[in-house]
Amino acid sequence: MVNWYLPASAIKTLTVGVSRAEVVDFRVTPAAEVGEIVGPTSNPTAIGIRNVGSLAGSIPLRIRDLDGGTIWTGSITLAVNEFGWVYPALNYPMPSHDLRLRAEAYHNSIVDSFIDKTVTLITQVITAITLTLQPSSVEPGGRYLYQGKLTRVDTGAGLGGMAIIARRDGVDVGTDTTNSLGNYDIAVTAPSTTGSFSCQAVFPGVVPFAGSSASTTLGIGVTDLSWLWPVAGVLAVGAAVIVAVSVSK
């Protein structure tokens, strides 16, 4: 008996190649103050990637602090020659020096492409603001002014174009923008009640200028008693002062 074997074969495709990426773009905030979050969730960093390899697939990515270590890792899946964006939410606090970042695309231990960006440290400028009330005492419902000047402490120069808020007992009552010399002038109506009120001029701050404030007291009451006839026993109520007026017969 003769054994006959039918011929057979199997086919397996061997794929040679790799998905390899080029970092085309790397966008990150250009400057930040110490402790400020770089690449927050609300405004993430962006990396533009193109697959320049011979295979479609997942491309590993990372961002490194060149003065520290890896602060983000991720990936993107792209077809051959396809371009795409990745938006890493770094939530990385700004150090007390310029932050040097590198966005890398790599496979295995080989870095295929990278782009470096520097986030410049913003040095905060300390400010000072003055406040004078004109007049410092008014009748109920009268008009008075918040007046003063905003300057930078290091040079003493006035800061123009800055928003100033007038507050009375913690409530905003007016706003103004400083002129080229740093001066502001805010007209406000007094409340209808008598007494002493805490008034404040506030500069909220804007990068790189730190906020500042100044406070003083406003007196509200009857300031003109000329209308009172000198009648015996009349009591005039002023700013927390009772004035007794009498006439000798």
> What pLDDT does residue 47 have?
98
In three-state secondary structure terms, 90 is coil
> What pLDDT does residue 209 have?
94
CA distance 105 to 47: 10
* 19 φ/ψ angles, rounded to the nearest 5 degrees: -85, 120
CATH numeric code, 127-220: 2.60.40.1930
> What pLDDT does residue 2 have?
55
> What pLDDT does residue 172 have?
97
> What pLDDT does residue 207 have?
84
CA distance 166 to 141: 17
**Burial of 216: CB neighbours in 10 Å, binned 0-12, 13-18, 19+:** middle
> What pLDDT does residue 221 have?
86
Is-above-0.85 flag for pTM? Answer: no
Judge whether 216 and 136 are in contact, CB under 8 Å. Answer: yes
Residues of the chain with CATH 2.60.40.1930: 127-220
* CA max distance for the chain: 160
Q: Taking Cα atoms as reference points, which of 147, 149, 174, 145 lies closest to residue 162? A: 149
Q: Which class is domain 21-121?
A: mainly beta
Residues of the chain with CATH 2.60.40.10: 21-121
Q: ω into residue 208 within 30 of 0, thus cis?
A: yes
* 59 φ/ψ angles, rounded to the nearest 5 degrees: -115, 120
> What pLDDT does residue 18 have?
60
Question: Average pLDDT per run of 10 along the chain, which is 249 residues long?
Answer: 51 51 96 93 94 93 96 96 96 96 93 96 94 96 97 96 97 97 97 95 94 96 51 40 35
